[in-house]
Structure 1
Amino acid sequence: MFGLRFSTLTEQGVAERVVTTHRTAAQGVGAVITPNIQHISLMGHNPALLRACQNAALLTCDGFPLYYYARARGLPATGRVTGRGIVAALLAQPQRLARHRLFMVLDSARTVAAAKAWAARNGLSDVLECYVPDYGFETRPADCATLAQCISQHGTTLLFMGVGAPRSEIFLDQYRQDLPPCWALCIGQALLVAFGLLPQPPRLVLACNLEWLWRIAMEPRRLLRRYVVSAAGFAWAVLKDMTRRG
């Protein structure tokens, strides 16, 4: 589907894989990417993002249009597997996370404070390091090299990339040779939700697959145009994918 290989693991299954295993030097970085319609739309004109997704260790169907298209294709999809769900499953088991060296790339000092408070409550302060890159870091090789060095020096085995798509995915792919062997989760705003800095979508909204509409209502200026453009790009990608099949 779209030239990509999607995992059949559930959210709990991805979390279990990540928390119970350590990547070897031969395996290197194991990127976990949860594509939604924005990813698929961007891949049409962003070859770096396409390569990142092709090189990922685990790809899951996040957005419900992606999931339903997978089902229509007859692919073995077990349901939506979101970054938010994976993060929630991981943070719910701090004793097992203590086996890892955790590194969180975050969007602001406010999120860092929330992350450190969570770590302190769960006895993980000694294994957690946080970093807030400057805006536009992905366009500056020196900034990217500094970030990769910090991740490596910490001895990171579990990396949370919370700076959004496609920055997280492309950084991991382009600097994988400078990074330690680790699981690397591209999870966008999932940590903000997990730490209570963004509200959880109501259950009814999730049950009706209306999370996209709820998010637009929460942040219309930032998200309305993005969703419209992404929906059009996704529709075009589906058409091309079906044509290739035919």
Structure 2
Amino acid sequence: MRINICGVKIDKYSFDEVIQLIVKHALSQSKPEYVVTPNAMHVLTLQKDANFQEIYRKAFLVVPDGVSLLWAAKFLQTPLKGRVNGTDLFEKLCAIAAEKGLKVFLLGGRPGSAEKAKETLVARHPALQIVGTYCPPYGFESMPTELNSINSTITAAAPHILFVGLGAPKQEKWIAANYLYLGVPISVGIGVSFELVSNMVTRSPVLMQKAGLEWLFRLLVEPGRLWKRYVLGNPAFILLVLKQRLGLFNSLSQNLDCANSNESAHKVK
């Protein structure tokens, strides 16, 4: 079952249920699928990006990473079962992968973060098979030779789960463009999780996580990079949710048409 938050359909599964579904699919090694982990920023981006919308429609699972989505769902009287935080998902899946003999590949992150995350996770779970890590150069998505090299490296490693930390929507767009060719059972976009697991970026205290204030901690730690997302993005998201509650929300396609019209008008000026 999926609920609707500002036109985005989100799966109503608990964290444990999501883990079970992903592990089951990875073990079955059936057709490749991918998982997206939306937060408020994703919802805002989806209002004006048709390609991103299509990627979401085809996802195996759409799970609520941002606590703002839990608040919105409750306010809209369609509560979710809980948060499925991308970093927690990454760590738990790696723990189970060690138990089940599933192979894992880490793609993306800041230089050195995937390798440091590997070291941290293998220290915790010695049986964990991380069969590759790679940090592509900036702008790699427009470099055919680099793209071919990445695909060849991943297919040769043959992981069961591919974790991609390129930031949204880049990571989702790369996954959607490549997952069928790669043949990896499950691909998951996880943002800055490599940095958090490796302690290259400090994660908020557990009490702040439980209180839904992890976003505030991240803003304080990296204000230059994140101020637009939270200071401008959060009010815009709240406005969208209010419109939905009042029955004033346009469909994603209508919002996209509006965004394109505004862009065209701006270009004419």
What interval of TM-score do these two structures reach, taking the shorter chain for normalisation? 0.7 to 0.9
2:9 corresponds to which residue? 5
| 1:61 and 2:58 matched | no
Q: Give the deviation of 1:26 after TM superposition.
A: 6.0
| Larger relative contact order, structure 1 or 2 (CA cutoff 8 Å, min sep 6) | 1
Count of paired positions? 244
What does residue 258 of structure 2 align with? none
What are the ranges of 5 or more consecutive residues in structure 2 without an aligned counterpart? 252-269
Quote the Cα distance in structure 2 between the aligned partners of 1:62 and 1:108: 21
Paired position in structure 2 for 1:80 = 83
Counterpart residue number, 1:33: 36
Q: CA deviation at 1:140?
A: 3.7
The superposition leaves residues 150-180 of structure 1 with CA deviations (integer Å, 9 ceiling, x where unpaired) of 2222212100011211111011112233221
- CA distance in 2 between counterparts of 1:216 and 1:80 reads 20
Which of 113, 116, 124 aligns to 2:115? It is 113
- Return the offset for 1:218: 0.3
CA distance 1:15–1:218, shift in 2 (3 Å) = same
Whole-Å separation in 2 of the counterparts to 1:113 and 1:174: 25
Secondary structure of the 2:26 match is: coil
Report the counterpart of residue 241 of structure 2 in structure 1. 238
Deviation at 1:142, TM superposition (A): 4.2
Q: Secondary structure at the match of 1:21?
A: helix
TM-score w.r.t. the length of structure 1 is 0.86
Partner SS, residue 96 of structure 1: helix
Q: Percent identity?
A: 25
In the TM superposition, residue 215 of structure 1 has moved relative to its aligned partner by 0.8
- SS of residue in 2 equivalent to 1:129: strand
Shift of 1:36: 0.5
Which residue identity lines up with residue 111 of structure 1 in the other structure? S
2:110–2:195 Cα contact (<8 Å) kept: no
Shift of the 118–209 alpha-carbon distance from structure 1 to 2, 3 Å rule, reads: closer
What is the identity, as a one-letter code, of the residue corresponding to 1:27?
Answer: K
Q: Normalising by the residue count of structure 2, what TM-score does the alignment of the two structures yield?
A: 0.79
Displacement, 1:120?
4.5
Aligned pair 1:212/2:244, yes or no?
Answer: no
Deviations, residues 162-199 of structure 1 (Å, cap 9, x unaligned): 12111110111122332214211111112322233322
Displacement after TM superposition at 1:18 (Å): 2.0
Q: 1:67 & 1:119 partners in 2: Cα distance?
A: 29
Moved more, 210-219 or 144-153: 144-153
Q: Over aligned residues, Cα RMSD in angstroms? A: 2.6
Cα offset, 1:23, TM superposition = 6.9
